[in-house]
Structure 1
Amino acid sequence: MGKRFLLVTEEWAGSGHRMAALALEEAVRYGGGGTLSAKVVGGLETASPALRELSRLFYMGMLRHAPLLWQRLYEGERLWGATLKRPLAWWLSQTLTEQLLRVEQPDVVVATHAYCLSALAMAKKKMDKPFHLVSVPTDYHINPFWVHPEIDSYIVAHQQLADVLESDFGVRPDAIRVFGIPVRPVFHEAGKRDKSYWKRQLGLSPEPFTVLISGGEGGRGGMEQVVRELAEMEEPLQIIVITGNNSALYHRLTEWASRRASQHRFVMKGYEPQIWQWIGAADAYVSKPGGISCAEALALKTPLILYQPLPGQEWKNCAFLLKHGAAVLAERPEEIRETIGRWRVREEWEHAVEQMEPLRRPESARQIAEYLLRV
């Protein structure tokens, strides 16, 4: 039997962390040629389902009712980092050791969410069989949640984050790898096709400028406001709306579009498991800046318009992408219209795609897997 890999994640704060773990599981299995074991597990789901539900309710409640307070709490990251690294980590480490690590006996443990990372670091010291612990931040930002002296390897999205690990946290350079945020290997393959191919595959019209609007799994980010604003544009658009699991929004927009006489074509979708096809077909992608969503758009060379970022890591992602010229931030729906009007000029659109190139890491999952198989 080859190496045993354990990928620990969370999904209660959005699907991106789990998608990163699934990307690595797939890449590791493929790279290992069937000679290893790889398993994705939820950290809190294993250690404390009650705490998982409490954390979910708290997080969703703060985003809904007190987003600015959540931003202040997030920016007080050293306090939260201390909590996750000491009392809570000690308690969680007991359960993770007994219910997960001693059962699975992993050689490599990879964390794509920070909640249980310090607990895993504490548990590592208790294990008779040592394992290699890997921190994989899934955003374009580093905070203390992701750092611990017992972590063996850090895999980050960009050299700027590697520099922060060295300068702010004293992490050794040889423990850091800049491979990018892991996206599923299918995104790398999909990126080899041009947009006309994906439009044909999906039965879309090849000519109109195509805008994809998505608010993640929960259909957040003022999507309805954006759709209504774009509907007022004079030149025809192809508008794809993916509402995720937000069925109320899906039905509301579908009914609205069916009653509207328009020069635009509207395509309404709910949860879409093959999202790479729709991102691949789009000429512009209006989204909130989750780390995985942005990495997927970069992989598929689809220019990003960021709208209504959630407080916390999404504000940080937004600042990073704007600094590198790899996205546009629209603070008002009218600014989305203005950007799309500008990108209709082919040279302007091609320039937006070129700006994304330095941050693209479509082969991130394969490169990470190759590294993990060697450690």
Structure 2
Amino acid sequence: MRKKRVLLLSEGFGSGHTQAAYALAFGLRELDPGIQTRVIELGKFLNPVLGPMIVNAYRKTVVKQPKLVGIVYRRQYKKSLNRLTQLALHRIFYTHTSQVINQLKPDLIVCTHPVPNAVVSRLKRLGLDVPLYTLITDYDAHGTWTSTEVTKYLVSTPLVMQKLIDRGIPRQRIEVTGIPVHPNFWHTYDKAEIHSQFGLKDMPTVLIMGGGWGILNSDDLLAHMTEYRDRVQLIYCVGNNEEARDRLLADPRFQHPNVKVLGFTREVSKLMDVSDLLVTKPGGMTCTEGLSKGIPMLFYEPIPGQEEENCEYFVNNGFGEMLESTDTIEKWFHLIQEPYAAVQYRRKLLSKRNQQYNPTQCSRAVLQFMQ
């Protein structure tokens, strides 16, 4: 008997979209090992030279002109990608998408980025007979995600569902599933083993993330955090940004046994387990990973648009706070040094998480369709 196949299409405009696709793929296989999954960043796959160039140009725009990104986001907020735009995308960048789909023969397509979602929607209008699920990977519903050809929307919260309903999407085509995270974030790891693996101490710990795109630039706040290095362990994750890593390592303030500067790592789930506080950009995926671990979060420099919406959701629901000044650092760094207060706060967040989020729900929603 032929195994069921799920094709997950994403794009590399920020790592969260593709991470969500892989997380859903892992979750599906963990629930049903008989399902075959394939994750593709479509633009890069079809255009291995041009695709990364476009992503790099977008990254530079985000870093150097974030206000422009916000203006474009809001200007197009209520608009779906029109048919002329979809046609242009298909002919210029995605000409061979139908060939890929015909070759892989999926029983279901899941898109975790608006662009492949629009491309597949156009193919469905032209006769493609494969169900299309759209997984919205933020805590907002921008118009570019929407299309009449979508079979079902998988969304993060009831608020996002209501935004889609307000745009005329039928309620029965929307399911609140939360954003999937990798199964690594479903588990709790042994802290002693993690301390040994990374050379960490058993002491109050802060995990700082977000330098992969060169946007960990709040030097004054970073410097202020190092003033606690005798009492608080600091772990800086800068991803593949070697320039940022070299800059931090060369700074005497970061040359301390209680300060770790890490490059790219696949062990973020473990680092969250031994951390008492997460300082991060409010990307939809990172926030959901923090939510799954029940770790309090401080958000800095949200990109205008979806990151602002993500930040608003998590702050309003008590999972985090904006990092606006050194006073915020003082407050939280003192809290995590009080063992009882830190443990009680974490328990409160885990209880709230259990009420609002089930890490397997998105995978189960897709699996239910496959059966």
Alignment TM-score, normalising by the size of structure 1: 0.87
Is the Cα contact below 8 Å between 1:303 and 1:356 reproduced in 2? Answer: no
- Residue aligning to 2:200: 204
- Residue aligning to 2:321: 328
- Residue aligning to 1:43: 42
For residues 136 and 312 of structure 2, the distance between their equivalents in structure 1, rounded to whole angstroms, comes to 16
Q: Which amino acid aligns with 1:248?
A: E
Q: CA deviation at 1:53?
A: 4.2
For residues 334 and 17 of structure 2, the distance between their equivalents in structure 1, rounded to whole angstroms, comes to 34
Change (3 A) 1:201 1:48: closer
- Residue aligning to 1:187: 185
Structure 2 matches for 1:1-375, cutoff 5 A?
Answer: 1-11=2-12, 13-34=13-34, 36-49=35-48, 52-53=51-52, 55-78=54-77, 81-82=79-80, 84-93=81-90, 95-127=95-127, 130-166=129-165, 168-190=166-188, 193=189, 198-199=194-195, 202-206=198-202, 208-215=203-210, 217-222=212-217, 224-233=219-228, 236-257=231-252, 260=255, 265-346=258-339, 348-349=341-342, 350-351=344-345, 354-355=348-349, 357-359=351-353, 363-364=358-359, 366-375=360-369
Structure 1 runs, 4 residues or longer, greater than 6 Å off: none
Change (3 A) 1:27 1:37: same
Identical-pair percentage: 27
Is the Cα contact below 8 Å between 1:3 and 1:37 reproduced in 2? Answer: yes
Q: Which amino acid aligns with 1:212?
A: L
Q: Which amino acid aligns with 2:308?
A: W
Q: CA deviation at 1:51?
A: 5.8
Change (3 A) 1:196 1:344: farther
Change (3 A) 1:53 1:204: closer
Number of positions where the alignment pairs a residue of Structure 1 with one of Structure 2: 363
For residues 363 and 371 of structure 1, the distance between their equivalents in structure 2, rounded to whole angstroms, comes to 12
Q: CA deviation at 1:47?
A: 4.6
Q: CA deviation at 1:152?
A: 0.8
For residues 185 and 60 of structure 2, the distance between their equivalents in structure 1, rounded to whole angstroms, comes to 33
Change (3 A) 1:234 1:6: closer
Q: CA deviation at 1:227?
A: 3.1
Q: CA deviation at 1:109?
A: 0.5
Q: SS of 2:179's equivalent?
A: coil
Is the Cα contact below 8 Å between 2:63 and 2:213 reproduced in 1? Answer: no
Change (3 A) 1:32 1:234: closer
Q: CA deviation at 1:142?
A: 1.0
Is the Cα contact below 8 Å between 2:63 and 2:214 reproduced in 1? Answer: no
CA deviations 1:150-197 (Å, max 9, x no partner) are 11111111111112211x22222222221111100111013xx47566
Alignment TM-score, normalising by the size of structure 2: 0.88
Q: SS of 1:374's equivalent?
A: helix
Q: Which runs of 5+ in 1 are unaligned?
A: none
Is the Cα contact below 8 Å between 2:110 and 2:135 reproduced in 1? Answer: yes
Q: SS of 1:131's equivalent?
A: coil
For residues 190 and 320 of structure 2, the distance between their equivalents in structure 1, rounded to whole angstroms, comes to 20
Moved more, 173-182 or 288-297: 173-182
CA deviations 1:172-229 (Å, max 9, x no partner) are 2222221111100111013xx47566445544221x2101111153352326543311
For residues 248 and 235 of structure 2, the distance between their equivalents in structure 1, rounded to whole angstroms, comes to 11
Q: Which amino acid aligns with 1:5?
A: V
Q: SS of 2:70's equivalent?
A: helix
CA deviations 1:58-114 (Å, max 9, x no partner) are 4223223322122111111247x44x3322212344625433222222210001111
CA deviations 1:245-289 (Å, max 9, x no partner) are 1112212222324885x6x71112111111111111110111111
Q: CA deviation at 1:240?
A: 0.8
Q: Could you say what the CA RMSD is over the residues aligned between the two structures, in angstroms?
A: 2.6
Is the Cα contact below 8 Å between 2:230 and 2:258 reproduced in 1? Answer: no
Q: Which amino acid aligns with 1:367?
A: Q
Q: CA deviation at 1:337?
A: 2.9
Is the Cα contact below 8 Å between 2:110 and 2:132 reproduced in 1? Answer: yes
Q: Which amino acid aligns with 2:330?
A: R
Q: Which runs of 5+ in 2 are unaligned?
A: none
